[in-house]
Each structure stands twice: as structure tokens, then as C-alpha cells.
Amino acid sequence: MYQLNNSVKLVDYDKWYQKAWASGFLKNIQAEYDVTPARILRDDEDPNHAIVVLTAQSLKAFDNLLADPRIHEFVADKNNFLVETPKPLGRYTATEINDVNPEAKYGFHTQHRLVDYNQWFSIFKDSTFRKEIEEANGLRCVRILRETENQNNAVVIFQGPSQDAYDAMHNDPRVQERFNDKSIFIEPPKCVGRFTPVNL
């Protein structure tokens, strides 16, 4: 299964949601290409910025969908409350680490640029050290998105109750020491967004 994340900047989120999603307009087109809308991630710092998450069995399905003239017309129509053409953030394969907690307040997306993904993943996946620090701060890693284009890039998604909790985990001296290990990380991981999910 592949995932496509598109960044969308809006004039009015609620009106866009009603016209694009509540109406079924985009879902019906996506279904023709076997593309499934999974969720919208609302930027907690900007309510008119969102990430639309789509899934499909092939990357070609995304290409076919994005080439559909109805999609182009919808994006170009200023009456659809878009500030600009949606921007693709990446295409990914997803690895589930833990069950998603539907009661969790936020999802924190952490960009990882790695020397060798497989080496990092072998350390990360079953790390007792990681799990202890997550638990101490009330966070949980739920998913890893590995880029299809550069497979040493990934987005690690944590669920948690607050920015303070995430910062406490991220800035823990033991975590920072690991992040500065140049044999694992090209650069220290950084948070690229705090989101609340809307299931589609």
C-alpha cells in the first residue's frame, strides 16, 4: 500500500471541506482510480492549512488521478476556497508501529534524514530506550512513512497530548545524543507539524 500526502492551503477550511468532501465530489473521482482518501490532517497552528492523505495499491493510481481534468478544474476554481494548487509532500510506504489511539489529541510528524534507513529501523523498531522515553512523556510512535523516491528519508509519527510533552521527549539529552550520531542521521530529526486528524 502506498500513501500520498498533499499540502493544501485554504481560504476557508469548513467551506472547502463541505464542497470537496462532505459532498462526495472528490471521493467519487478518486474511487474511479482505486484511490482511497484516508484522512485530513489539520495543522494545529494554522486552521486553514491541511494535509490530505490518500492511499492506493500502486503509485500509478496517484498519477492517473492527478491527471484527471476534473481535478484540475476543481483546483483552478477560486470558488472552491483554495489559496493555491495543492503541493505534494511525498509518496510513502507506511509501517505501522502501534495501534492508533483515537482519543489522542495530536499527531506530531518528525522528519528523519538517514544514512541508512534499514540500519536505523533495526535500532528504532524494538528499542526499549525509545519506548521508555515515549511512555515517560505520554507519547507513542504509531507509524513510519518511508519515502518512495529517497528511501533513506522518513517521517515518524507520534501521538501525544501536547507540544510540551513532545518537546520534552524530543529534547531529552539522551535523545539528542542519539540524534547527533552521524553514523545514523544525516541531520538531527525535526518536527515538521502538529496535526489533528479528520477521518474521511
CB 16 within 8 A of CB 10: yes
What pLDDT is attached to residue 21?
96
- pLDDT tens-digit readout, 67-103: 999 999 999 998 989 999 999 999 999 999 999 988 8
What gap in Å lies between CA 184 and CA 151, rounded to an integer? 14
Give the DSSP letter of residue 196.
E
Percentage of residues of the chain with pLDDT beyond 90: 93
Domains and their CATH numbers in the chain: 2-91 (3.30.70.100), 97-199 (3.30.70.100)
What pLDDT is attached to residue 15?
95
E strand map for the chain: 2-9, 35-43, 49-56, 87-96, 106-114, 140-147, 153-160, 185-199
Mention every residue, 6+ apart, whose C-beta is less than 8 A from residue 143. Answer: 94, 95, 96, 97, 100, 156, 157
What pLDDT is attached to residue 41?
97
Average pLDDT over the chain reads 95
What pLDDT is attached to residue 120?
97
- pLDDT tens-digit readout, 54-66: 999 999 999 999 9
Chain CA centroid to CA 124, Å: 19
Mean predicted confidence (pLDDT) in 18-24? 95
Mean predicted confidence (pLDDT) in 25-33? 97
